[in-house]
């Protein structure tokens, strides 16, 4: 058994943006179920508390001291860091100096590809890359939710391990089994930030235009749009419950041509038993067959397949069930946590995993 301290955003103060299916919670559950003692340190909410409700200078200064003292108190064997902007590198280095046995791993779920005609994608990609590189001053291992060797290799440094981490699924958080239902309120679910661009069949397109194309090309479609065509975004429990009402899910990330990169919505769709529609350019057909996911390459192929599965619910249920079983077999929270654990404590063997691991 290891003592593990995870530092990540666990929103307790801001209800609107609370997410109950994020990487940090699934890793926490996976480590606990694998027999480890894990605590998640909610850095952003602690910073707000120390800063009188805001992540300001005073809050961040107080947080540095608190984190060092907490590590002295807890004495973890390993530190896992996910999207932490509030704690300075100097603070982490002080902790490593006091705990010389400590192993540190960072995970990042955002894209690192900066080749795009979409300026937002480029800007955020550069921001993500800068954050990851900056944290490599004190980390031993870096894991990102893409297996694209071209982009991962740009992080390769002496003494550092770099690789892929999949978006996990956890049946205690993703409780829908919609493949068991022949009739559901909605045929397909599409989620997106409002007024955003999504890469659709090799080209950037406004999400509203994509949603309208679905309505125009699939007769009698009953869609569940969140963030498209004026529909509001869904958060927290509202989002989790909505996932249980749709038979299928269209997985549209900002980038759909980077190997195995996807928004975690793919895990949410499949993890709740929806039939997931995935662009072939992402490469998931290397891990899943046409009997487990609905792959497409052109808008016409997408519309045709949506119409087919809409009108043949038993076939949709069968393929979705296959995808559910396959995804949970590959990427459940205990498997992904075991992968992280093995990397942290030098017990890793790539033969244990069907999916790409370290570069």
pLDDT in tens, 314-352: 999 999 999 999 999 999 999 999 999 999 999 999 999
pLDDT-derived band at 12, boundaries 50, 70, 90? confident
Number of independent structural domains in the chain: 2
pLDDT of 91 > 90? The answer is yes
Percent of the chain's residues with pLDDT above 70: 99
358 within a domain of the structure (yes/no): no
At 136 the pLDDT is: 96
At 330 the pLDDT is: 98
- Give the number of residues written for the chain: 359
pLDDT-derived band at 81, boundaries 50, 70, 90? very high
Residues 153 and 36 in one domain: yes
Residues 54 and 110 in one domain: yes
In the three-class reduction of DSSP (H, G, I as helix; E, B as strand; rest coil), residue 172 is classed as: coil
pLDDT of 17 > 80? The answer is no
DSSP bridge partners of 82: 8, 107
pLDDT-derived band at 15, boundaries 50, 70, 90? low
For residue range 99-148, list pLDDT tens digits in order. 999 999 999 999 999 988 889 899 999 999 999 999 999 999 999 999 99
pLDDT of 74 > 60? The answer is yes
Residues 60 and 115 in one domain: yes
173 within a domain of the structure (yes/no): no
Sign of the C-alpha dihedral computed for residues 347, 349, 352 and 353 taken in this order: positive
118 within a domain of the structure (yes/no): yes
Residues 299 and 344 in one domain: no
- CB of 189 closer than 8 Å to CB of 274: yes
Q: In what order do the strands lie in the sheet with 275-279?
A: 223-226, 186-191, 246-250, 275-279, 294-296
Residues 226 and 340 in one domain: no
Q: Domain with 41 in it: what CATH number? A: 3.40.50.2000
Residues 312 and 348 in one domain: no
To the question of pTM greater than 0.85 for the whole model, the response is yes
For residue range 263-319, list pLDDT tens digits in order. 999 999 999 999 999 999 999 999 999 999 999 999 999 999 999 999 999 999 999
For residue range 139-172, list pLDDT tens digits in order. 999 999 999 999 999 998 888 999 999 999 999 9
CA distances from 297 to 199, 201, 268, 270 (A): 12, 6, 22, 20
Residues 18 and 105 in one domain: yes
Which range marks the domain in which residue 53 is found? Answer: 3-168+332-352
Residues 182 and 72 in one domain: no
Residues 125 and 221 in one domain: no
Alpha helix segments (H runs only) across 223-332: 236-243, 265-271, 299-311, 313-331
**Per the structure block, which two tokens stand in for 271?**
């993890």
The residue-averaged pLDDT of 237-251 equals 96
Question: Which residues have C-beta within 8 Å of that of residue 311, sequence separation ≥ 6?
Answer: none
Separation of alpha carbons 106 and 80, rounded Å: 6
Separation of alpha carbons 235 and 139, rounded Å: 32
357 within a domain of the structure (yes/no): no
Question: Which residues have C-beta within 8 Å of that of residue 32, sequence separation ≥ 6?
Answer: 38
359 within a domain of the structure (yes/no): no
Separation of alpha carbons 135 and 64, rounded Å: 16
221 within a domain of the structure (yes/no): yes
Residues 271 and 311 in one domain: yes
At 299 the pLDDT is: 98
34 within a domain of the structure (yes/no): yes
225 within a domain of the structure (yes/no): yes
Residues 202 and 321 in one domain: yes
Average pLDDT taken over every residue of the chain: 95
pLDDT of 18 > 80? The answer is no
At 278 the pLDDT is: 98
**Per the structure block, which two tokens stand in for 23?**
């990487």
**Per the structure block, which two tokens stand in for 54?**
């805001």
Question: Which residues have C-beta within 8 Å of that of residue 108, sequence separation ≥ 6?
Answer: 82, 83, 128, 131, 132, 142, 143, 144, 145
Residues 147 and 201 in one domain: no
At 14 the pLDDT is: 72
């Amino acid at each position: 058994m290891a003592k593990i301290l995870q530092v990540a955003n666990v929103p307790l103060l801001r209800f609107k943006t609370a997410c109950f299916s994020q990487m940090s919670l699934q890793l926490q559950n996976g480590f606990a179920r694998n027999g480890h003692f894990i605590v998640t340190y909610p850095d952003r909410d602690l910073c707000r508390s120390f800063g009188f409700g805001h992540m300001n200078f005073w809050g961040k200064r107080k947080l540095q001291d608190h984190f060092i003292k907490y590590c002295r108190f807890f004495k973890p064997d390993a530190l896992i860091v996910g999207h932490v902007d509030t704690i300075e590198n100097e603070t982490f280095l002080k902790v490593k100096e006091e705990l010389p046995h400590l192993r540190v791993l960072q995970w990042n779920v955002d894209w690192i590809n900066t080749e795009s005609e979409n300026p937002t994608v480029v800007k955020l990609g550069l921001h993500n890359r800068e954050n990851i590189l900056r944290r490599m001053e004190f980390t031993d291992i870096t894991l990102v939710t893409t297996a694209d060797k071209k982009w991962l290799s740009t992080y390769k440094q002496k003494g550092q391990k770099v690789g892929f981490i999949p978006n996990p699924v956890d049946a205690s958080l993703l409780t829908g089994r919609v493949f068991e239902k022949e009739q559901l309120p909605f045929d397909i679910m599409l989620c997106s930030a409002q007024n955003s661009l999504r890469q659709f069949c090799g080209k950037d397109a406004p999400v509203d235009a994509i949603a309208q194309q679905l309505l125009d090309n699939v007769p009698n479609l009953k869609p569940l749009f969140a963030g498209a065509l004026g529909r509001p975004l869904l958060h927290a429990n509202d989002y989790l419950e909505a996932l249980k009402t749709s038979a299928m899910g269209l997985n549209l990330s900002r980038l759909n041509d980077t190997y195995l990169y996807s928004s975690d919505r793919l895990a949410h769709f499949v993890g709740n038993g929806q039939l997931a529609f995935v662009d072939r350019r992402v490469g998931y057909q290397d891990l899943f067959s046409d009997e487990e996911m609905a792959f497409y390459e052109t808008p016409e192929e997408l519309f045709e397949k949506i119409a087919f599965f809409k009108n043949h619910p038993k076939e949709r249920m069968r393929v979705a069930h296959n995808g559910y079983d396959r995804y949970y077999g590959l990427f459940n929270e205990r498997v992904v946590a075991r992968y992280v654990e093995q990397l942290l404590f030098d017990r890793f063997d790539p033969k244990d995993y069907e999916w790409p691991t370290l570069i």
